[in-house]
Amino acid sequence: MKFNLNLSMAVIASAMVAVSACGGSGNSESASSESTAAAPPPAPIEISLEEKYKDDPVYIKGSELMGQNDCPSCHMLERKIVGPSYADVAAKYETTDENVELLAGKIIAGGVGTWGEIPMPAHPTLSEEDAKSLAQFVLLLKK
């Protein structure tokens, strides 16, 4: 039988690679814990604002009022259409009694300039109580 030096070296090199890839110790527990520790953490599951707040009484009441008025014509929960998304408004204003009053007033009186040149129509027939409920709903929607 003829001895092939190149083939023998290739076999030895392959064996060394295989041993080093397995950790060389034969201890499969340490090899698996090392690979587990190196794995990146799973990405956080992002849920929609609707899913996040669906059981909140402020959300439930606000959603009903939004549906009874023309709000969805210009606003969405998380995406700008004609006016800003509710989430964008919530991000701009802290949730305080003063801001609930301010936003309720803007809902009733309408306005222009805060979010661009497209005016928000007035809602003079909306009660102050309903306007405050709408403002509380919007301010709830923080991401």
Q: At what angle do helices 97-109 and 128-140 cross, to 10 degrees?
A: 120
Picking from 37, 33, 15, 11, the residue whose alpha carbon sits closest to that of residue 24 is 15
Contacts of 72 (CB under 8 A, 6+ apart): 66
Phi, psi angles (nearest 5°) of residue 36: -70, -40
Contacts of 86 (CB under 8 A, 6+ apart): 49, 75, 76, 77, 78, 137, 138, 141
Dmax (CA) of the chain: 102
- 9 labelled binding-site residue: no
- 71 labelled binding-site residue: yes
- 22 labelled binding-site residue: no
Residue numbering of the annotated binding site: 71, 75, 120
Binding-site residues for heme c sit at 71, 75, 120
